[in-house]
Chain A
């Protein structure tokens, strides 16, 4: 699903250049649930941004679903994001004046899905995250866990190839975190490919594979026995 070869990225900070990613190589198969771990400054967020086409690499190869991702202009990047990727953010990033259902339907709007079909799909995915009754509520009327579930429904609505989650439990207490992870595991059980950036070991343990980043290189890449979140809920 994802092939990355010798990925480099550096940021210019005034006169100094900060080399953040120093040759990343890794592949992700379809249906994997990967945790990308590392302390802050390890380059994990930069990697996720490049995977998410929110940022571009300096050199290296990135192939997503057999499509080489290169020479992206803003329009092309937006199209690919819309087609291939679903995003889940730490701070949920819901649009605060739109209802839960409208938020979920937003990526479909940019896919030019007809209005009625959009509403049906939005409700379907809200039901999947267990928030069908909250469809008409604004984000401000939802709890943190509920907001993140709406964000996950939104990420799923576009039926992406890969789900990218940047610290999805970072703003949640542990009980809610496990609920969200339970949901993510169940989505993964259905065959969705998911990448999670996290620095919490217990969250990483709930994935199927952990990629450990340090100072811009992968220092560890191992398959693990998944801890089911269900038991903590």
Chain B
């Protein structure tokens, strides 16, 4: 195997080492190109990771459905009729649409985004109060600072427990005061705090200042009967959200005698759309980064080719001597191409190492708990391999230019006495 030939490599390093400073300057282009490529890719990846972190806990394949007022008259009903979902709707939807994975009904005190005063030992907080099924946590994961979220047991026994938001805690408690096990009063009913959660700063559907109590407790405590405010729904991962969304709406419109063309009677929000937009955005960003990086790399490699062309010119006599002594064109060509590869790959690795260092520093500065959409700036193994293979490929192609120039040197011309 010629690739393991020690002499070949010592030949290559001897020629490269002959003019170390120039070799270094040549490398600089590729080093910087590689730094740019890795930083761009790392940044784009970091942004992608950052968004993923922000969305962590929120099922990407989910939607929210709530009732509003009709905007079209239908079957003798006038427009402007307020629609009120019933708890049985949840059961019907779950039965009739098998694509629904989790369906969490919710009811809230007051109107939508309504605020209720929550009391504790003379302190008050204007909070949104929700009656929830524990499985809502499967769709929108709550990041708990203390305690736990509502569970099935709370549900079946209609326990008077609640989970409060960090903001609510701040209003109702002194700093550092223990809250778990303490009671708060809502509409004259006492609830025992079992957990405090930290709202997600970036996707905030529930509001910052909220209190969650079990759905069943809500029904009993506030006499809401079988009314239901809205539904958080996650669909199976192989199903498109808009498809299920229209199925649900059709079914509900039919049940509540709503005009099929009425767009306003039932409100919904497709979470997957947000995800798709974000991943399309980060995808484009990664593509652009790669493109820009590769072009920079190409410029760097072309600089190497240029220097090698000059080197070949300078070494005309030496190459002539080698040819006279029996070097075949193949041997000469191989040596020049390998020089190109060695410079490029070495410079590439240096640039890569520097860029990884930068990314590590950036990661360190951003840290774990930043709200910026940047997290874990790194390039992936396939990206690394891709750029590496591309770099070697380019260096071979570009190295062929000076190599072909070198083999056009005829020994007789090179050795002609000046």
Residues of A within 8 A of B (CB): 49, 52, 54-55, 74-75, 78-79, 81-83, 87, 89-91, 93-95, 97-98, 106-107, 109-111, 115, 154, 158
User: Which of B232-240, B273-281, B328-336 participates in binding chain A?
Assistant: B328-336
Contact A74 B321 (CB under 8 A): no
Contact B327 A97 (CB under 8 A): no
Asked if B328 and A107 sit within 8 Å, CB to CB, the answer is: no
Q: Which 6 pairs, one residue from A and one from B, show the smallest C-beta to C-beta distance? A: A82-B326, A110-B326, A54-B412, A78-B328, A107-B325, A75-B328
Partner of A109, one of B7, B317, B415: B7
Taking Cβ atoms with an 8 Å cutoff, the residues of B that contact A are: 6-7, 14-15, 18, 317-318, 320-331, 407, 410-412, 415, 417
A residues less than 8 Å from B15 (CB atoms): 97
A81 touches B325 (CB 8 A): yes
CB atoms of B412 and A81 under 8 A apart = no
Q: Is the CB of B6 within 8 A of A115?
A: yes
Question: A93 and B7 in contact (CB under 8 A), knowing A87-B324, A110-B326?
Answer: no
Q: A74-B328, A97-B14, A98-B14 are in contact. Are A106 and B322 (CB under 8 A)?
A: yes
Contacts of B330 in A (CB 8 A): 75
Contact partner, A106, options B320, B325, B328, Cβ 8 Å: B325
Q: Give the distance in Å from the alpha carbon of A97 to the alpha carbon of B17 in the complex.
A: 10
List the B side residues contacting A49 at CB < 8 Å.
412
Nearest CB on B from A80, distance (A): 9
Give the shortest distance, in Å, between B393 (CB) and chain A (any CB): 26
Chain B contacts of A90 at CB under 8 A?
417
Question: In the bound complex, do residue A97 and residue B321 qualify as a contact, i.e. CB atoms below 8 Å apart?
Answer: no
A107 to B327, CA, bound (A): 8
Q: With A49-B412, A93-B320, A94-B321 given, can you name 14 additional A-B contacts, CB distance below 8 Å?
A: A54-B412, A78-B326, A78-B327, A78-B329, A82-B326, A83-B326, A90-B417, A93-B324, A97-B18, A107-B325, A109-B7, A110-B322, A154-B325, A158-B325
Whole-angstrom CA separation of A90 from B415 in the bound complex: 10
B7 neighbours in A (Cβ, 8 Å): 109, 115
CB contacts (< 8 Å) of A106 on chain B: these are 322, 325
Docked-complex contact B415 and A93, CB < 8 angstroms: yes
With A and B bound together, what is the CA distance between A90 and B418 in angstroms?
11
CB-based contact A81/B324 at 8 Å:
yes
Q: Which residue of A lies closest to B408 (CB)?
A: A74
A93 surroundings in chain B (CB, below 8 A): 317, 320-321, 324, 415
Complex formed: what's the CA distance from A109 to B7 in Å?
A: 8
User: What is the bound-complex CA distance between A93 and B325, given in angstroms?
Assistant: 11
Q: Are B329 and A75 in contact (CB under 8 A)?
A: yes
What are 23 A-to-B residue pairs whose CB atoms are below 8 Å? A52-B324, A54-B324, A55-B412, A74-B328, A75-B328, A75-B330, A81-B324, A81-B326, A82-B325, A82-B326, A90-B417, A91-B417, A93-B320, A93-B321, A94-B321, A95-B321, A95-B322, A97-B15, A106-B325, A107-B325, A110-B326, A110-B328, A115-B6
Q: How far is the CA of A111 from the CA of B327 in the complex (A)?
A: 9
* Chain A contacts for B410, CB-based, 8 A: 54
Chain A positions within 8 Å of B320 at CB level? 93
Residues of B within 8 A of A97 (CB): 14-15, 18
Cβ of B84 to closest chain A Cβ, rounded Å: 90
Min distance, Cβ B211 to any Cβ of chain A, angstroms: 82
Contact B412 A158 (CB under 8 A): no
Query: Which residues from chain B contact A87 at a C-beta distance below 8 Å?
Result: 324-325
Nearest chain A residue, comparing its CB with the CB of B323: A78
Min CB distance A184 to B, Å, is 19
Inter-chain CA distance A55–B411, complex, in Å, is: 9
How many angstroms between the C-alpha atoms of A141 and B410 in the bound complex?
29
* Beta-carbon nearest neighbor of A50 in chain B: B412
Q: Contacts of B323 on A, CB cut-off 8 Å?
A: 74, 78
CB nearest to B329 among chain A residues? A74
**Are A107 and B412 interface neighbours, CB within 8 A?**
no
Min CB–CB distance A90 → chain B (angstroms)? 6
| Set of chain A residues within 8 Å of B326, measured between Cβ atoms | 78-79, 81-83, 107, 110-111, 158
* Distance to closest chain B CB from A144 (angstroms): 15
A106 to B325, CA, bound (A): 7
Residues of B contacting A91 in the complex (Cβ-Cβ under 8 angstroms):
417
Distance of A158 Cα from B14 Cα, bound (Å):
23
| CB-CB nearest in chain A for B320 | A93
Contact partner, A54, options B329, B407, B415, B417, Cβ 8 Å: B415
- CB distance A79 to B328 under 8 Å? yes
Q: Measured between alpha carbons, how far is A28 from B18 in the docked complex, in Å?
A: 43
**Centre residue among A52, A74, A87, A154 by max chain B CB count within 10 A:** A74
Report the separation of the CA atoms of residues A111 and B7 in the bound assembly, to the nearest whole angstrom: 13
Q: Within the assembled complex, what's the spacing in Å between the Cα atoms of A27 and B412?
A: 24
Query: Looking across the interface, which residue of chain B has its beta carbon closest to that of A89?
Result: B415
Cα(A95)–Cα(B327), bound, Å = 14
| Complex CA distance for A82 and B328, rounded to whole angstroms | 9
The complex places the Cα of A81 from the Cα of B415 at a distance, in Å, of 15
What distance in Å separates the Cβ of A205 from its nearest Cβ neighbour in chain B? 24
Nearest chain A CB to B391's CB is how many angstroms away? 28
Q: How far is the CA of A110 from the CA of B417 in the complex (A)?
A: 24
- Looking at the assembled complex, report how far the CB atom of A47 sits from the nearest CB atom of chain B, in whole angstroms: 13
**In the bound complex, how far is the Cα of B11 from the Cα of A98, in angstroms?**
10
Question: Contacts A95-B318, A97-B18, A115-B6 hold; do A110 and B329 have CB atoms under 8 A apart?
Answer: no
Bound Cα distance A154, B322 (Å): 12
- Given A98-B14, A115-B6, A110–B324 Cβ distance below 8 Å? no
Complex Cα distance, B11 from A109, in Å, reads 11
- Complex Cα spacing A83 to B325, Å: 9
Q: How far is the CA of A54 from the CA of B6 in the complex (A)?
A: 29
Q: Which residues of B contact A158 (CB under 8 A)?
A: 325-326
